[in-house]
Amino acid sequence: MKEVRIYDQEKYDWALDSALDALYREDKNTFMKRVTDMELSSEMTEQDILYMFAQSAYKTSLTSSFIYGGHK
């Protein structure tokens, strides 16, 4: 992942925490709003941010529970 500049670290951190909370609650609308907040407070694009979440899920083996879990 390339180095990115965070313009407003406090807002970025809040948006990240809020996005993770929304993911846990399966609240897609709030999650996408927080992705937009992260995009506005950093140099990252929406695609970079969603890719970061996907990488994190893969690295923590959440994908295996997603693929082999209750999603049929």
**Per residue in 13-58, pLDDT tens?**
999 999 999 999 999 999 999 999 999 999 999 999 999 998 887 7
- Interacting residues of 12 by C-beta distance below 8 A, sequence separation 6+: 6, 37, 38, 41, 42
Would you say 39 and 9 are in contact if contact means Cβ atoms under 8 Å apart? Answer: no
The tokens for 6 are 């965070």
Domain-embedded: residue 48? yes
What pTM does this model have?
Answer: 0.75
Domain-embedded: residue 26? yes
Q: How far apart are CA 20 and CA 35, in angstroms?
A: 10
Domain-embedded: residue 4? no
Domain-embedded: residue 2? no
Boundaries of domain holding 26: 9-68
Domain-embedded: residue 3? no
Q: Is residue 8 classed as helix, strand or coil in its secondary structure? A: coil
The tokens for 60 are 């923590």
pLDDT in tens, 51-62: 999 888 777 765
Domain-embedded: residue 17? yes
Is 6's pLDDT higher than 60?
yes
Q: How many domains does the chain have?
A: 1
